[in-house]
Amino acid sequence: MLQSLMSDDHPLTLALLFERAATQFPDNELVSRFPDGSIHRYTYADFARRTRKLANALATLGIEPGDRVATLCWNEHRHLELYFAVPLSGAVVHTLNARLHRDELTYIVNDAADSALFVHSSLLDAFEEIRDRVSVEHVIVIPDDGPTPEGYRDYEELIADEPEQFEPPPLDERQASGMCHTSGTTGRPKGVLYSHRSTTLLALMSCMTDTVGMHERDCMLPVVPMYHANAWGFPYAATYAGAKQVFPGRDLSAESLLGLFADEGVTLTGGVPTVFLDVLRALDERPGEWDLSAMRSLVIGGSAAPPSQIAGFDRHGLHVTHAWGMTEMNPLGSIANLKRAHDGLDEADTLEVRARQGHAQPLIEFRHVAEDGVVQPWDGVALGELQVRGPTIARAYYGVDRADDFVGDGWFRTGDIVTIDEHGSILIADRARDVVKSGGEWISSVALENALMAHPGVVEAAVFAAEDERWGERPLAAVVHAPGSSVEAEELREFIAPQFLRWWLPAEFIPVDSVPKTSTGKFDKVALRERYGRRLIEGGE
Ligand code: AMP
C-alpha cells in the first residue's frame, strides 16, 4: 500500500482548540453571571493566562496524567478554565451533575476514583454531605463572594503564584480528556470517557454551517449545564471558533436568560425543552420586552421539542433548531435542519420536519433494527431501535461490562425506538424502556405528548405506561394545566383523537401540578410509573 506523505500523526487534541482561541481571538469576550447577579467579564487572553496557571497548579498538586479531576460547578468561566487546564495537563476532567441525589454523587465520585474535586462555593453544602463517603485527596473551592471556609483550598489562591507559561506534556489524541456519567434512570450511572480526538472532532463538526454553524461572530450562551455531556460540546466548539461566550451561572429562570440574551447580544443558545417552555411563556406574556434581534438559533434537545414550542418561538421571530444526542455520543447525534428536498413544503409539513430529531451529524451513521435483529427500511413507518456508529461514539463504558449495548462493528445501541424517513431523518417514538406496549403493539408516548402540548390549556404532558389486565399496558397522560385553564379530560381526548388510532388514546388524563423531572430535566417516567403505574388495576385517587 502506498502510504501518504501527510502529517497524519499530528494529534487532534484540545491544545489545538485552546491555542487557536488564545492566539487568534485574544480580545474576544467571556462573560459569566455570578449567583448574586453580578457580571464578570474577561477575554480569551485572560482566560488563556489563567488556564495555563491552573494547569501548572494541577502539577503542583501532584495530579498525574490520567488522573480524574472532578468539577461540581455551574456554567461559568472557571469551569471553562478547568475544561481546558485539566485535559491539557494530561488528566481527565470529570463533570459532576450538581442536581444529583447525594447517593448517586457518592457512587460516581468513587466509581471514577477522582483525585481532586473543584467545587463551587454555593455547592459546598452538597459536597459536605458526601465528604465522609468519598476519598478525594484535594478539594478546591471556587469562591463566590465570601471567603473560602477553613479546611479547603481556594481556587484563586491556588493559581495566584503559578507561572503564566505552560508547556503541555505530549498528548495522545486517543487519551481520555473528559468523563461524564450517564443520567442512569435505570440502574447505576455509567461512566463515559471522551477522548481528545472525539472532542476535537465534535468541536470542528459543530462549526460546520450545516450543523450548529458556530463561528467567530457568534455569541453563545449554553443553558445546558456544563455537567450534562460537556454542555453538548458548545464550550469547546465556541472556544475553537473564538466566539463570545456567556455563562448564565446558576440562575436559569426565563427572566435571567432573556436579560442575558438581550444585554449580551446572544446569537446562539441551547438547552432542554423544559427551560425553553418558561422562556416562551415569558415572551408570550411580555412580548417586545427583550430585544432578541441578534438571536439566530435556539438549539433544543435532550428530550423532544414539541412542535407547538417550535411554532411558538416562530411567532416571536426566533428559530428553533431541534437536535438529538446522547452522553455516549459526546453528545451530538442528529440535527433537524431543512434539506433542499424540503423546499416547497407548506408551513405545517415544514414544522413536522423541523420537529423530527433530524438527520445524522457528519461522521455519524444511523440504522434501526427490529426486535428480531433485522435492519429496517427508511420508509418513515418501520419502527426499530436506533443504532449509531462513528468516531465520536463510545465503544465501552468505564469499568462496566455492558457488551450488549455495543453490537460489534462499532455500532452502539441507543435504546431509542425510531422510524427513519427517506431523507434519513429520525423520529423518536420512545426510549425503549419508556415504550408503551398495548396488546403487543407499540404506542409512541412522544407523539401523544406533542399532540397534547399543542392544546393551549396544557403546559406539559407526559405519557407513560400503566399496567392493564387486558392489554398488558395502556398509556396514561399526566397533564399540567396552563394557569387559569381547567380543560377537561374529554376535551383533551377529542382534541388529539383525529391524529391517532382509537387504541392509542390515553386511558386517563391525570391533572398534576408538575411533571417529575430527572437531574437533566427530562420527564421522569420511572417516577410516574411508580406513582400511577398500577392505577388501572387497583384504581387511583
Ligand atoms: P442523555 O445521555 O442524558 O443526554 O440522554 C440521551 C437520551 O435523551 C436519548 O437517548 C434520547 O432518548 C433522549 N433525547 C435526547 N435528545 C432528544 C430529542 N431531541 N428528542 C427526543 N429524545 C431526546
For residue 327 and ligand 1, the question of a CB distance below 6 A is answered with yes
Q: Would you call 168 helix, strand, or coil by DSSP?
A: coil
- Please tell me the pTM assigned to this model: 0.93
Catalytic residue among 51, 71, 95, 182: 182
* Residue 401 confidence (pLDDT): 78
Whole-angstrom Cα distance, residue 428 to residue 208? 24
Mean pLDDT for the stretch of residues 145-157: 91
Active site residue 71: no
Give the largest Cα separation in the chain, rounded: 74
Active site residue 60: no
Q: Is the confidence at residue 184, as pLDDT, over 70?
A: no
Q: Which amino acid is at 142?
A: I
Q: Is the confidence at residue 541, as pLDDT, over 60?
A: no
* Residue 268 pLDDT level (bands cut at 50, 70, 90): very high
360 CA distance to ligand 1 centroid (A)? 14
pLDDT tens per residue, range 49-98 = 999 999 999 999 999 999 999 999 999 999 999 999 999 999 999 999 99
435 CA distance to ligand 1 centroid (A)? 14
Q: Is the confidence at residue 403, as pLDDT, over 80?
A: no
pLDDT tens per residue, range 283-325 = 999 999 999 999 999 999 999 999 999 999 999 999 999 999 9
Mean pLDDT for the stretch of residues 321-338: 97
173 CA distance to ligand 1 centroid (A)? 27
β 244-247/29-33 pair status: parallel
Range of lowest pLDDT (151-160, 296-305, 408-417): 408-417
Active site residue 442: yes
326 CA distance to ligand 1 centroid (A)? 6
Active site residue 290: no
Whole-angstrom Cα distance, residue 19 to residue 12? 12
Nearest-CA residue for ligand 1 atom 22 is 303
Mean pLDDT for the stretch of residues 403-414: 87
Query: Ligand 1 pocket: which of 224, 276, 303, 448 to mutate (most atoms <8 Å of CB)?
Result: 303
For residue 303 and ligand 1, the question of a CB distance below 6 A is answered with yes
Mean pLDDT for the stretch of residues 196-204: 98
For residue 520 and ligand 1, the question of a CB distance below 6 A is answered with yes
* Residue 144 pLDDT level (bands cut at 50, 70, 90): confident
pLDDT tens per residue, range 341-388 = 999 999 999 999 999 999 999 999 999 999 899 999 999 999 999 999
Whole-angstrom Cα distance, residue 371 to residue 366? 17
* Residue 441 confidence (pLDDT): 83
Higher pLDDT, 406 or 309: 309
Q: Would you call 310 helix, strand, or coil by DSSP?
A: helix
Query: Ligand 1 pocket: which of 324, 430, 517 to mutate (most atoms <8 Å of CB)?
Result: 324
Closest ligand 1 atom number to CA of residue 229: 4
Q: Look at residues 232, 105, 190, 87 and name the one whose alpha carbon lies nearest to residue 412.
A: 190
Closest ligand 1 atom number to CA of residue 415: 10
pLDDT tens per residue, range 437-492 = 888 888 999 999 999 999 999 999 999 999 998 889 999 999 999 988 889 999 99
- Cell 463572594 sits at which residue? 145
Mean pLDDT for the stretch of residues 501-518: 94
Give, rounded to a whole angstrom, the gap between the first and last alpha carbons of the chain.
73
Angle (nearest 5°) at CA 128 between 123 and 131? 125
pLDDT tens per residue, range 96-129 = 999 888 899 999 999 999 999 999 999 999 999 9
Range of lowest pLDDT (5-14, 143-152, 182-191, 429-438): 182-191
pLDDT tens per residue, range 222-256 = 999 999 999 999 999 999 999 999 999 999 999 99
* Residue 540 pLDDT level (bands cut at 50, 70, 90): low
Catalytic residue among 216, 437, 467, 508: 437
119 CA distance to ligand 1 centroid (A)? 27
Nearest-CA residue for ligand 1 atom 12 is 431
* Residue 409 pLDDT level (bands cut at 50, 70, 90): confident
Whole-angstrom Cα distance, residue 514 to residue 278? 13
